[in-house]
């Protein structure tokens, strides 16, 4: 055990009291060994990587924090031509990995530049941004299973990675010890200037910032620097001098609702139908009276909404804070709740509840928090 440090010092939201105890093993073998000891102690426990998706209560955590700080990147033999397989220790900082792959000319995670946190936490919510997701490149993880105490290899498909979620967020307990990524070696496909190319650009805002069409490929370095610029403008790159980045990133996920519900929202509310168009179908009159959702059609197609739009149009503007509170909506991006300096976890939670209430009252949508809340209820 090491001296416990307050969670406010280990999380990017900068709130949270101390845990009862803490371990921080630096090798994969010691991580396994110490986790098994902790799990045998019948105490509550939690994992902490970079603390960029964790918001802990002012009371701290009455249990043992297992910090994941193991480092190392290894190149494995890849079966496919033009492919690179990497095995990365869980404590390796994600953005350092992205920077390394870009320098090497390996494509697949360049649009995920600037996301804080550790590689081991990346599968937990299947990190994603600017048209790429971890699930596009994750091959497998090595996993220490809490139920069995055994280390096992899990193929990416077993993790059920989806939009900001995975089996790890839905009850599968244990530690991701290392991740394996399949990347594309693009050094032999360089552009006219000899620069290694990215994967096809898959996000409109990134394509316009680059001045290219969706599906085009651009120098890897250019994608990385453009994504970092776009993110910095929204306060989404950690910067100790900018309190807009004292956050957990997006505090709410984009809600997914039925098509029928989406139709109750104002026309201007952005929406993306997630399922393909259904083919035309004849519905007998005795099955449908012509009013309300069409059975088997309207209620099945999921539609993703923009949480940022809903928040802004419920009357909560950038920079908003409750009277006297040091928690504020980011002045650059409505989706991020920030600690403007010295805020308590209670103040962050109060602001989050206010935002939830406004969106629920205005649009009938229940936003879901994206970060992991420790000892906090919204």
Does 301 qualify as catalytic in the annotation?
no
CB 302 within 8 A of CB 357: no
Nearer to ligand FAD, 31 or 262 (CB): 31
CA distances from 119 to 7, 114, 181, 268, 291 (A): 20, 13, 11, 37, 50
CB 175 within 8 A of CB 23: no
Q: Which of 52, 113, 137, 250 is catalytic?
A: 250
| Residue 175: CB minimum distance to ligand FAD, A | 5
CA distances from 193 to 18, 122, 224 (A): 52, 33, 17
Q: What phi and psi, each to the nearest 5 degrees, are found at residue 154?
A: -115, 125
Site residues, ligand FAD (CB under 6 A): 12, 46-54, 68, 90, 115-118, 120-122, 124-125, 127-129, 168, 175-176, 236, 238, 245, 247-249, 372
From CA 59, how far away is CA 19, in angstroms rounded?
A: 9
Sign of CA dihedral 116, 108, 72, 124: positive
Q: How crowded is residue 124: how many other Cβ atoms within 10 Å of its Cβ?
A: 24
| Residue 239: CB minimum distance to ligand FAD, A | 9
Nearer to ligand FAD, 60 or 249 (CB): 249
| Residue 338: CB minimum distance to ligand FAD, A | 9
Nearer to ligand FAD, 245 or 314 (CB): 245
Does 164 qualify as catalytic in the annotation?
yes
| Residue 61: CB minimum distance to ligand FAD, A | 11
Nearer to ligand FAD, 179 or 355 (CB): 179
Nearer to ligand FAD, 161 or 262 (CB): 161
| Residue 295: CB minimum distance to ligand FAD, A | 35
Contacts of 60 (CB under 8 A, 6+ apart): 6, 7, 16, 17, 18, 19, 20, 375
Q: Which residues on neighbouring strands pair with residue 179, listed in sequence order?
A: 88, 141
| Residue 267: CB minimum distance to ligand FAD, A | 28
How far from chain centre, in Å, is Cα 17? 24
Nearer to ligand FAD, 127 or 262 (CB): 127
From CA 317, how far away is CA 328, in angstroms rounded?
A: 10
From CA 242, how far away is CA 11, in angstroms rounded?
A: 15
Does 71 qualify as catalytic in the annotation?
no
Look at residues 33, 118, 37, 22 and name the one whose alpha carbon lies nearest to residue 70. 118
Using DSSP, how many helices (H) and how many strands (E) does the chain show? 7, 18
Q: Which of 28, 133, 180, 370 is catalytic?
A: 370
Q: Which residues does the annotation mark as catalytic?
A: 164, 250, 370
């Amino acid at each position: 055990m090491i001296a416990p440090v307050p969670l406010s010092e280990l999380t990017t939201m900068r709130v949270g009291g101390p845990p009862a105890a803490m371990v921080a093993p630096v090798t994969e073998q010691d991580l396994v060994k110490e986790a098994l000891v902790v799990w045998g102690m019948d105490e509550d426990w939690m994992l902490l990587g970079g603390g960029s998706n964790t918001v802990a209560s002012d009371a701290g955590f009455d249990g043992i924090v297992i910090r994941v700080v193991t480092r190392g990147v290894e190149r494995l033999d890849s079966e496919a031509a033009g492919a690179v397989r990497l095995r990365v220790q869980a404590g390796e900082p994600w953005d350092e990995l992205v920077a390394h792959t870009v320098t090497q000319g390996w494509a697949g995670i360049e649009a995920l530049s600037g996301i804080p946190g550790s590689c081991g936490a990346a599968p937990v919510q299947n990190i994603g941004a600017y048209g790429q997701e971890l699930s596009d490149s994750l091959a497998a993880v090595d996993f220490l299973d809490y139920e069995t105490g055994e280390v096992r290899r899990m193929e990416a498909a077993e993790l059920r990675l989806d939009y900001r979620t995975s089996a790890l967020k839905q009850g599968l307990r244990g530690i991701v010890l290392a991740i394996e990524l399949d990347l594309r070696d693009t050094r032999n496909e360089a552009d006219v200037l000899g620069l290694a190319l990215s994967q096809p650009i898959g996000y409109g805002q990134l394509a316009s910032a680059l001045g290219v069409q969706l599906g085009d490929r651009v120098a890897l370095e250019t994608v990385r620097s453009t994504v970092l610029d776009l993110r910095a403008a929204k306060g989404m790159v950690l910067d100790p001098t900018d309190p807009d980045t004292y956050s957990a990133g997006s505090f709410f996920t984009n809600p997914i609702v039925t098509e029928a519900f989406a139709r109750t929202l104002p026309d201007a509310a952005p929406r993306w139908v997630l399922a393909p168009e259904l083919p035309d179908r004849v519905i007998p009159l005795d099955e449908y009276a012509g009013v309300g959702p069409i059975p088997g059609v309207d209620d099945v197609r999921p539609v993703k909404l923009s949480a940022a739009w809903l928040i802004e149009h419920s009357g909560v503007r950038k920079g908003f804070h409750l009277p006297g509170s040091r928690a504020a909506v980011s002045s650059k991006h409505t989706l991020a709740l920030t600690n403007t300096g010295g805020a308590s976890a209670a103040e962050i939670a109060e602001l989050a509840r206010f935002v939830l209430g406004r969106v629920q009252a205005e649009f009938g949508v229940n936003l879901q928090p994206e970060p992991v809340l420790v000892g906090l209820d919204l």
